[in-house]
Structure 1
Amino acid sequence: MKTDWTGYHHDKDNLRNEIWSLLKQQAASVGDPFGHIPNFVGAELAAEKLASLSIWQQAKTIKCNPDSAQIPVRMRALQDGKRLYMAVPRLTDDRCFVELTAEDLQRQNVSIAESAIARKALTCGRLVSFAEMEPIDLVIVGCVAAGPGGGRTGKGAGFADLELAMLQEFGLVEIDTPIVTTVHPLQVVADSLLPMQAHDWALNWIVTAQEVIETNTSYPRPTGLNWDSLRSEQLEQIPILRKLNEPRRRLRRSRSPRVGREDGKKE
């Protein structure tokens, strides 16, 4: 199946289609998995297992993706009194994260269960810029496939890697901030099937309803935004990237040769 993001990496495209097909055949997805971070049977149990880990219990501030598969994770974070940051879907706002806390929701008389749904979170949460955010203790990302060595792929849009790179640029994610996913066991595949590129962020933990895998990944963590790997449509469609790129554009313009005047003298 072709999606909006098909065609950037042939092997990953094939792997995603295989996983989506497998989840559907095995009735392991909730709703149609194709083209999505798949919502999966056992997502609530995986969230419970994640909440039993010390990396979760020690975390005060959590960043989580907005997909349905991680609704139980977002709900548990708020129930446990953590500050939750959720990315605005497709990063369509300059302030590309929503901040949620149980206290704010209580003041608005909004239930935690409601606010864990991305659409509701966008209306009851507070849109924040990077400058307004607290350092993040734990990152949860959505995956279509994950490998026990830390390799991962989302649905192909590259949003998770972009978010993490920007958060690192602003000092909100550190070199040792744990990165976790919750998935169905069918989404855990051999490392050899998951080619990782320089801008890809690897997983430190994979949590399913049945088990917890600490990857002890050997993949190097990217250091901030890799401008060379950004696609032109990402710069066109994501406002915060255009804003962050502006100083670089000005610098390039200032370094370009200055245009001479008609009389041949330099300006």
Structure 2
Amino acid sequence: MLEKQELRDEIDHKKIEFPFPAGGKLAEQIRRLAGYKEARCLFVSPAALLDQVRINALNDGKILIMPAPGLKEGFYRIKPYSIAFKDLKFAVTYKGLAQFGEHLLFEEMAGLAIDLFFTEILYVDPFGVFLGNGQGFFDLSVALLSELGGVADNARAYAVGVGEQLLVERLKHDCWDVPVNGLVSADGVTEFGQGRLAAAVYWPVLTERSIKKIAPLWRLACKQGKI
């Protein structure tokens, strides 16, 4: 079983770079995903690799949910057809969120019903456990939205990258990890056969200081009596 930190150290030591294709190719594969056409609401990470995915989501009539930087302010929503085409590329970036995005109130997250989640990765194993940037914001985002009732019952999550990022061996699984259902690359989709996307905030690893830094997490902690 592979240790996540050892893989991160190897990437840094060997200066490994993955041959990412143009974002448009990845975005088109996502459009072919089962369930994409019917999906009403998508969560897409702010990675540059997924710029076109976010633009497509709005052009395809989907509600786009993005996390605020560091999750400090929670999440932003951009509604389809609410932004001029010439502004779309900027609107779906962190810098554009403040101008074009709608900051979600704590009470509004319960009605989101997010159907699909997409995130960038460093590596992913055949069981959907992935190695991210080490900050855990995707796992925490899914867990927080799940606890607040913002995730659809049949929601699925996908890693986006290249085939070289798919491991043969298993990654060590932390108790707070949220496995993805598949890997989307320019060549197609590798499904991992994971079941229903479900997650909960794992409070034992969160300090009061870290909880206070994330507004909706602080509200949830107070509501559940964790603080």
Name the TM tier (shorter chain): 0.7 to 0.9
Task: For 1:123 and 1:175, locate their aligned partners in 2 and report how far apart those are by CA, in whole Å.
Answer: 31
Deviates more, 1:134-143 or 1:155-164: 134-143
TM (normalized to structure 2)?
0.86
Corresponding residue number in structure 2 for 1:14:
6
User: Aligned to 2:27, what secondary structure does the other structure show?
Assistant: helix
- The unaligned stretches of length 5 or more in structure 1 are 1-9, 29-39, 253-267
Structure-1 separation of matches of 2:17 and 2:42: 32
1:217 & 1:141 partners in 2: Cα distance? 16
Q: Pairwise mapping of residues 99-248 of structure 1 onto structure 2 (< 5 A)? A: 99-106=77-84, 111-133=87-109, 134-174=112-152, 176-192=154-170, 194-217=171-194, 222-231=198-207, 233-248=209-224
CA distance in 1 between partners of 2:215 and 2:97 (Å): 20
Name structure 2 gaps, 5 residues minimum. Answer: none
Deviations 1:77-131 (Å, cap 9, x if unpaired)? 11111110101010111xx11111232213xx75222222221123211111242
Give secondary structure in 2 for the equivalent of 1:166.
helix
SS of the residue corresponding to residue 120 of structure 2 reads coil
Residue 62 of structure 1 corresponds to: 42
What is the rounded CA distance, in whole Å, between the counterparts of 2:59 and 2:45 in structure 1? 17
CA distance in 2, matches of 1:91, 1:243: 13
Is residue 55–residue 178 contact of structure 1 (8 Å, CA) maintained in 2?
A: no
Q: Please report how far the alpha carbon of residue 209 of structure 1 lies from its aligned counterpart in structure 2 after TM superposition.
A: 0.8
Letter of the aligned partner of 1:11 in structure 2?
E
* 1:176 partner SS: strand
CA 1:18/1:148 → structure 2, altered by over 3 Å: closer, same or farther? Answer: same
Letter in 2 for 1:238: I
| Alignment check: 8 A CA contact 1:183 1:206 kept | yes
Which of the two has higher C-alpha Rg?
1
- The separation in 2 between residues aligned to 1:176 and 1:17, in whole angstroms, is 36
- Secondary structure of 2:36's aligned partner: helix
Cα distance in 2 for partners of 1:159, 1:26 equals 22
Shift of 1:246: 2.0
C-alpha distance in structure 2 between counterparts of 1:175 and 1:15, whole Å = 33
- 8 Å Cα contact 1:144-1:155 kept in structure 2: yes
Q: Contact 1:65/1:86 (CA < 8 Å) preserved in 2?
A: yes
Asked if the contact 1:139/1:179 (under 8 Å) is kept, the reply is yes
Which position in structure 1 is the counterpart of 2:26? 46
Count of paired positions: 224
TM norm structure 1: 0.75
RMSD between aligned alpha carbons?
Answer: 2.5
Output the amino acid matched with 1:13. Answer: Q
Instruction: Report which of the two has the higher share of strand.
Output: 2
Would you say the 8 A contact 1:149–1:191 is kept in 2?
no
